[in-house]
Amino acid sequence: MKSLIKKETSSTDKILKPDFNQKTGRELLAFYLQSKFKQILAYDRKYHAPIFTEVRPDFISKFSRRLINAPQKRLLIGITGESACGKSTICGQIKDTIQCLNLPVSIISADNYFNDISELIQQYGDFDKLRDNGYDVDSPESFQLELLKKDLETISQGEDIKIPEYLLNGSGCSVAQSIEVKSEKIIVVEGMSTMYKDVKEIFDIKIYIETCPEERKQRFFNRATERNQDEDNAQKHWDYVKVAGEKYVQPSKNEADIILNGNSDLIYFSQILEYIHTITNNFQ
């Protein structure tokens, strides 16, 4: 991928920068990006550890129409996948890369839209007892989906928003309008609830991260050890998230525009992002 970046930056055969305010300019950009994205996919297929597992046949044409017909709208990217598939890791890599490239991107964790369950936590004593008594934490009903969709609709139109913050201290508290999120040109939203119900309809690009169950289980238990969670409780929670993932998250794989390999080399992934940045900013 580095060779493609070098070739792109050193090439003297570049197109004139289109006038993106004109439809013809956006059509030219869409055609240009289509050819470059196909180039990325062709390169990735030959890579020893491809990151693109699957791309919907109509994705490139659909995304091109979106660029042409709604240029003023922010670009919303939803990323989902089962527990320990690598969602947060990949989003962390995106964040690190965009900081290096100074790209206009905001990242939202949809887990902040968990319902406030502080009263239930107090009633049962702690989260583990609440889970053991049947509380289905990963179900669509456990998220503020209407608020999530409303906030994404608002930010997609260029308005900054304040999203809730779900506290990770075991209290189950959700603090309303706690985190400020700027309406940058690109909005990345990560979390299983991004593809729940009609929230998924707002995204321009829907990404599903797929990782084999054995690798996910290993990551899950490593994470539990880091959090000083005892083995018995970790096993109980793994049994829960495994079933919940099959029930609530796996169906969204059929809705995804792109399926990514959660075991991919993050440096290689970063280089792909760098290449996309290069081709979208490398005009005469």
**Count of beta carbons in the 10 Å neighbourhood of residue 71:** 14
Least confident residue range of 59-68, 116-125, 172-181, 252-261 = 59-68
Quick: pLDDT tens for 146-159: 999 999 999 999 99
Confidence of residue 165 (pLDDT cuts 50, 70, 90): very high
The DSSP output letter for 115 is P
- This prediction's pTM: 0.91
Least confident residue range of 67-76, 180-189, 196-205 = 67-76
Whether the CB-CB separation of 108 and 190 falls below 8 Å is answered with yes
Cα of first residue to Cα of last residue in the chain, in angstroms, is: 22
What gap in Å lies between CA 248 and CA 149, rounded to an integer?
A: 18
Confidence of residue 70 (pLDDT cuts 50, 70, 90): confident
256 compared with 3, residue with greater pLDDT = 256
Q: 52-109+187-263 maps to which CATH number?
A: 3.40.50.300
Check pLDDT > 90 for residue 94: no
Domain extents in the chain: 52-109+187-263
Check pLDDT > 70 for residue 213: yes
C-alpha distances out from residue 73 to 69, 187, 246, 261, Å: 10, 11, 33, 29
| Cβ contacts of 3 within 8 Å, gap of 6 or more | none
pLDDT at 11: 67
